[in-house]
Amino acid sequence: MGVEGIGARVVRKEDKRFITGKGRYVDDIKLLGMTHAHFIRSPHAHAKVKGINSAEALKMPGVVAVLTGQEIVDDKVGNLICGWAITSKDGSPMKMGAWPAMAPETVRFVGQAVAVVIAESKNLARDAAEAVVVEYEELPAVADVHAAIKSGAPQLHPEASGNQVYDWVIGDEGATDAAFAKAANVVKLDVTNNRLAPNAMEPRAAIADYDAAEEHFTLYTTSQNPHVARLVLSAFYNIAPEHKLRVIAPDVGGGFGSKIFIYPEEMVALWASKKVGRPVKWTGDRTEAFLTDAHGRDHVTHAEMAFDANNKITGLKVKTYANFGAYMSLFSSSVPTYLYATLLSGQYNIPAIHAEVIGVYTNTTPVDAYRGAGRPEASYLIERLMETAARQLKVDPTALRRTNFITQFPHQTPVIMAYDTGDFNASLDAAMKAIDYDGFAGRKAKAKADGKLRGIGVSCYIEACGIAPSKAVGSLGAGVGLWESAEVRVNPVGTIEVLTGSHSHGQGHETTFCQLVAERLGVPISQVSIVHGDTDKVQFGMGTYGSRSAAVGLTAILKAMEKMESKAKKIAAHALEASEGDIVIENGEFKVAGTDKAIAFPMVALAAYTAHNLPDGMEPGLKESAFYDPTNFTFPAGAYICELEVDPGTGKTSFVNFVAADDFGRLINPMIVEGQVHGGLAQGIGQALLEHAIYDASGQPITASFMDYSMPRADDLPSFNLSHTTTLCPGNPLGIKGCGEAGAIGASAAVINAITDAIGKNNLEMPATPDRVWRTIHAA
Amino acid sequence: MYQTIYHRASSVDEAVSLFGKSSEAKFLAGGQTLLPVMKQRLASPSDVIDLGKIKELQGVELSGDVLTIKAGTTYFDIMQNADVKKVIPAIAYLTSVLGDPAVRYRGTIGGSIANNDPAADYPAALLALGATVKTNKRSISADDFFQGLFTTALEDGEIITAVSFPVPAKAGYEKMRHPASRFALTGVFVAQTKSGEIRVAATGASQSGVMRVPAIEAALKGNWSPSAIDGVSISASNLLADIHGTAEYRANLIKVMAQRAVAAAG
């Protein structure tokens, strides 16, 4: 592999600029003549906008304009779209209410923008915003899914009667009912998957710059997928055609899914920039992030699992209510359907599955993909069910899992997914060994003598990543293809620029993608740079989410590298007077195999550009591009085991040990993979113990700051014990599965299984706050 | 933040004089509450008078059985102080678990008690130790000083100059941290004075701010041990309730934290 090749723990190239404060984020960018936007947002969860009086604000110093929702509608800027069409079980399309970028008539969640002030500074814009008088007529609001579907509940959108977006089903209901009819045991569970606020370290921001002479827009924005942003802004929002809109996503400080979506603020900034004839900057603050970044999760589920007399699972029934908030965000419809219910088979051989998902509007912030997106909800449900079943059937939870593990691959589940490979016993073995599972009973007894309640919890997760085969997702309703593109540009001196449609916002692509080049050419990674995040530089790309950048994005780079190498070999063979088939690449040289004849890679590059002595008919230059469309999802899987103690006096949980044995296929940079797992586990544990975006019954957010919303901190987390068991993914040439979301998908069930084991009561909702655990311990 | 006029006072007298000349002035100590509130535009003082550079407000003095901490002393300086650690280690401990390092470098004891946040740690120490608050005008006993949520006996323009603690025979503090803010979800300070009086104060729990806990004081009288509190029942009525702790939970925490504080006090 070489010191900088695939599998090497190369220190991240990008960290020098990040840790010395030299990162260039959207808010760091200042354009000549730039104005500043401040949004006026609804304090009500549901209200009619009766009037907006900006007369006083317009007289205030530095105010350039006050623009309203009615004006953006009048200018025919399109409503926000949802890019994945879901069909209800009765054959009807999902029911969507209109979502204008600023509300002209009705606001449906606290924080929805109704107007924007553009001023010479952010502070002047804020001052003027306080002088804008918005007259609201409050309407009854509803925040909870169960309340929202009751008859007589406040209605959000006339298009969606009963606040129901869709009622979608998957699987074979008849076969599942038959399995339950014959079951020896049935295990039932109600679970709530708590709503989370994504909380990227960098709040969202946008700068729009309209050039009237060229009729051209530039948008600097905090995006995980700048090309998708350009596509949507052009094709649906009527901002500008694609060739007249450049989208730049420079350094981006974390996304976790929340920066996939194109938000109203970006649309308004672009539109306003043209209206006022000057660049417009908006940088969200933390409160705006809590109110307007798409939230994650928020499912309420009832599930039943049928077992035969040998503890083999024979059927699974699931009914889930998914809270979408007030509007359908860009990919929201796919999250509780194709990203959730298709993973309900878990790691288990389940012959019959039937799931029904009811999507519901409420007067809350829109909900969309957040690290794991549907798969954490599926994994949490299945792994809580397995633990509940083990307790009910009085068998060891690891033994029950092993009884039901899928061991033959490929394996077709009853819910679309075809698992390509895996070894679930191997990862469970590794995790059990790492935590000394067999010694747990002794440790529990000793803890009891010290007055502590000790528990152990297992979670065996599987996820579908590397999204996705374009044809497959197209047939399921996706509005886009999910391939990736890459371009390899070799400069005349032999340095290399790799242009990628993937976007790095914490993933370390500037290092890992270079490692592939180093692996193949034997050149140092200092000779390679990764270019991403600019639609003027990179031709196209689908961006980074769903743990896809290595499995899909890097494979596209591999395809482009192969094309480039093929041409370079022809040039080398010509120069060395050898046959192309005899050329091998070693340590930065193109060699004639078995001889000492060689030409250094920079000389090959130079020959390509001088074009003095190329094979007949060959074009000069050394630059190749490729598009890669995956053939299947990838299926990272693993086993997490958590051991912890609960203080019966306070209900507080303290970790003893947390082991994670993951199968991610081939690892490009194990150090970066470990960092991804650490971050994912922190978010999964955060969901289990701390995080919860809460609304009161009237739709007012209770947790709109870090004083109330509990983010996990270092001292909330254990020192993680990580290991890897590897089956190479057969679906891509590098054998990569992806590692970005696993921790967030697998961790929460392990934690709740361990706490419920410790306290001896099975029913406990997330987050398991000390108060909630204490009340559960002491409940009758 | 709204526009404001910043003044740096070099003496208490100058600070008082500046206050008198301003329409809606605020004193700035460590700024750990005032500045975030101003940044969020929830406060708009016309003038901010910085007390941070006033030398007479800095330092710790031990005189016989009285430990005096000047109001402008930062948490960091308090927890590092040899006299504090020697005569009232419970104060050093309380300070070491207050906020985070950034807060401890800036925040001051005077700022904390003047603000009287119902979840702040210091009010519990003052109340349990029977401290005296010294101002530029007078001395106020802790029992009289704290008057409810964010409310104290301070008059407009009055500046806390120091807090005097009688050195106790025993003292201990334990708290359950609020999961999000890390303030005290409930904290209990227990003290036994040299004359044998038992004083117990809880913070973070009551709807009326820091409070004495007579039931626990009675239980500990004559039996200074965690188990003495076993039979005590704390009523949940008039306790705070929020998403991180029901009133019943806080009632339980008063008892559990008191037991642990007694154990810590030895």
User: Do B182 and B137 sit in the same domain of this protein?
Assistant: no
Both B160 and B245 in one domain: the answer is: no
CA distance, residue B112 to nearest chain A CA (Å): 17
Region A365-386: mean pLDDT is: 98
A15-20+483-628, what's its fold?
Aldehyde Oxidoreductase; domain 4 (3.30.365)
Two structure tokens written together for A655: 């970790």
Asked whether residue B71 falls in the same domain as residue B129, the answer is yes
* Backbone phi, psi, residue B139, to 5°: -115, 135
CATH number at residue B205: 3.30.390.50
Q: What is residue A57's predicted lDDT score, i.e. its pLDDT? A: 98
Same domain, B96 and B139: yes
- Round to whole Å and give the CA distance between A365 and A25: 25
- Only one residue has tokens 């007694």, namely B262
Domain with B18, as residue range(s), is 5-50
pLDDT at A26: 98
Whether B244 sits inside 8 A of A769 (CB atoms) is yes
Per-residue model confidence (pLDDT) at position A468: 86
Residue A589 neighbours by CB under 8 Å, 6+ apart: A522, A598, A599, A600, A601
Are the beta carbons of A769 and B180 separated by less than 8 Å?
no
A709 and B180 within 8 Å at the Cβ level: the answer is yes
CB-based contact (8 Å) between B102 and chain A?
no
Going through A342-495 in order, the beta strands assigned E by DSSP cover 353-361, 411-412, 418-419, 453-462, 484-490
A65 in contact with B at a CB cutoff of 8 Å?
no
Interchain contact, B179 vs A690, CB within 8 Å: yes
Residue of A60, A650, A696 to mutate, testing the B interface (most B Cβ within 10 Å of its Cβ)? A650
Compute the distance between CA of residue B48 and CA of residue B39 in angstroms, rounded to an integer.
13
Confidence of residue A631 (pLDDT cuts 50, 70, 90): very high
Q: Which of A263, A283, A294, A110 is nearest to A199 (CA)?
A: A294
Q: Show residues of chain A in contact with B229, CB under 8 Å.
A: none
A685 Cα to chain B: minimum distance (Å):
13
Strand-pairing partners, residue A642, are A457, A658
Closest-CA residue in chain A for B3?
A123
CA dihedral A544, A545, A546, A548 (to 10 degrees): 10
Residue of A nearest to B1 (CA): A123
Pair (B133, B46) in one structural domain: no
Nearest to A774 among B179, B252, B260 (CB): B252
pLDDT band of A780, cuts 50, 70, 90: confident
Place of tokens 């190369």: A10
- A692 to chain B, any CB pair closer than 8 A? The answer is yes
| Nearest CB to A774; choose among B180, B249, B260 | B249
What band does A3 get if pLDDT is binned at 50, 70 and 90?
A: confident
Residues B40 and B113 in one domain: no
* Cβ atoms within 10 Å of A150's Cβ, excluding its own: 11
Do the Cβ atoms of B72 and B112 come closer than 8 Å?
no
CATH annotation of A374-466+633-778: 3.30.365.10
Nearest CA to A227 out of A29, A484, A561, A23 is that of A484
pLDDT exceeds 60 at position A1: no
Helices (H), A236-296: 264-276, 286-292
* A311 touches B: beta carbon within 8 Å: no
Give dist(CA A162, CA A154) in Å, integer: 9
Q: Around Cβ B138, how many Cβ atoms within 10 Å?
A: 10
Q: How far is CA A104 from CA A57, A138, A160, A328, in A?
A: 19, 15, 19, 18
Residue B65 near residue B52 (C-beta atoms within 8 A):
no
Contacts of A695 in chain B (CB under 8 A): none
Read off the pLDDT of residues A659-701 as tens digits, 9 standing for 90 and up. Answer: 999 999 999 999 999 999 999 999 999 999 999 999 999 999 9
Q: Can you give B152-194 as a three-state secondary structure string?
A: ECCCCCCCEEEEEEECCCEEEEEEEECCCCCCEEEEEEEEECC
Average model confidence (pLDDT) across chain A:
97
Whether A470 contacts A502, CB under 8 Å: no
Instruction: Give the integer Cα–Cα distance in Å for B141 and B131.
Output: 6
Q: Is A615 on the interface with B (CB under 8 A)?
A: no
CB A506 within 8 A of CB A740: no
**Do A15-20+483-628 and A31-139+201-254+259-292 agree at the fold level?**
no
Taking only the tens place, the pLDDT of each residue in A182-217 is 999 999 999 999 999 999 999 999 999 999 999 999
Q: How far, in Å, CA of A77 to CA of A238, rounded?
A: 6
DSSP per position, A344-389: TTTTB--S-EEEEEEEEE-SS--B---TTTTHHHHHHHHHHHHHHH
3-state secondary structure at position A83: coil
Backbone angle region of A617, left / alpha / beta, with phi > 0 → left and psi within -120 to 50 → alpha: left
Q: What Cα–Cα distance (Å) separates residue A408 from each residue in A282, A638, B206?
A: 53, 16, 60
Q: Which residues of B touch A770 (CB under 8 A)?
A: 176, 179, 245, 249
On chain A, the residues whose CB falls within 8 A of the CB of B226 are none
Q: For chain A, which residues make up each domain, given as ranges?
A: 15-20+483-628, 31-139+201-254+259-292, 374-466+633-778
Residue A694: the pLDDT is 98
Residue of chain B whose alpha carbon sits nearest to that of A123: B1
Average pLDDT over residues A50-79: 98
Asked whether the beta carbons of residue B180 and residue A771 sit closer than 8 angstroms, the reply is no
Contacts of B40 in chain A (CB under 8 A): 287
Per-residue model confidence as pLDDT tens digits over A260-293: 999 999 999 999 999 999 999 999 999 999 999 9
- B175 and B250 part of one domain: yes
Question: pLDDT by residue (tens digit) across A308-333?
Answer: 999 999 999 999 999 999 999 999 99
Q: Is the Cβ–Cβ distance between A114 and A44 less than 8 Å?
A: no
- Total number of domains in chain B: 3
Whether residues B244 and A775 touch (CB distance < 8 A) is answered with no
B41 touches chain A (CB under 8 A): yes
| Averaged confidence pLDDT in chain B | 97
Residue B224 CB neighbour total at 10 angstroms: 17
Nearest-CA distance B20 → chain A (Å): 28
The whole-number pLDDT of residue B76 equals 98
Partner A contacted by B176 (CB < 8 A): yes
Write down which residue in B140, B166, B192 finishes a domain.
B166
Specify whether B88 is located in the same domain as B134: yes
CB pairs under 8 A between A and B: 49
Q: Would an 8 Å CB–CB cutoff place A402 in contact with chain B? A: no
Distance between B61 CA and the closest CA of chain A, angstroms: 34
CA terminus-to-terminus distance, chain A: 60
Output the six-digit token pair for A490. 């070799």
Residues B149 and B182 in one domain: no
**CATH assignment at residue B20:** 3.30.43.10
Residues of chain A contacting residue B244, judged by C-beta atoms under 8 Å apart:
708, 710, 769, 771
- What is chain B's pLDDT, residue by residue, as a tens digit (266 residues)? 899 999 999 999 999 999 999 999 999 999 999 999 999 999 999 999 999 999 999 999 999 999 999 999 999 999 999 999 999 999 999 999 999 999 999 999 999 999 999 999 999 999 999 999 999 999 999 999 999 999 999 999 999 999 999 999 999 999 999 999 999 999 999 999 999 999 999 999 999 999 999 999 999 998 999 999 999 999 999 999 999 999 999 999 999 999 999 999 99
CATH number for the A31-139+201-254+259-292 domain, one of 3.90.1170.50, 3.10.310.30, 1.10.287.110, 3.10.20.30?
3.90.1170.50
CB contact under 8 A, A771 and B256: no
| Contact in structure between A772 and A765 (CB atoms under 8 Å) | yes
- The answer to whether residue A463 scores a pLDDT higher than 80 is yes
pLDDT of residue A2: 67
What length does chain A have?
Answer: 780
Mean pLDDT of A50-66: 98
Residue labelled with tokens 């200092």: A526
Task: State yes or no: pLDDT of A29 exceeds 70.
Answer: yes
What is the rounded distance in angstroms from the CA atom of residue A640 to the CA atom of residue A629? Answer: 31
Which of B41, B249, B260 to mutate against chain A (most A CBs within 10 Å)?
B249
What order do you get walking across the sheet with A299-307 strand by strand?
Answer: A164-171, A353-361, A313-325, A299-307, A185-193
Strand B5-8, strand B25-28: pairing: unpaired
Under the banding of pLDDT at 50, 70 and 90, the label for residue A255 is very high
- Contact predicate A509/A532, CB 8 Å: yes
Assess whether B140 and B210 both reside in one domain.
no
Residue B1 in contact with partner chain A when CB distance is under 8 A: yes
Nearest Cα residue to A325 out of A369, A364, A375:
A364
Same domain, B129 and B175: no
Chain B contact for A286 (CB, 8 A cutoff): no
If asked whether residues B61 and B46 sit together in one domain, one would say no
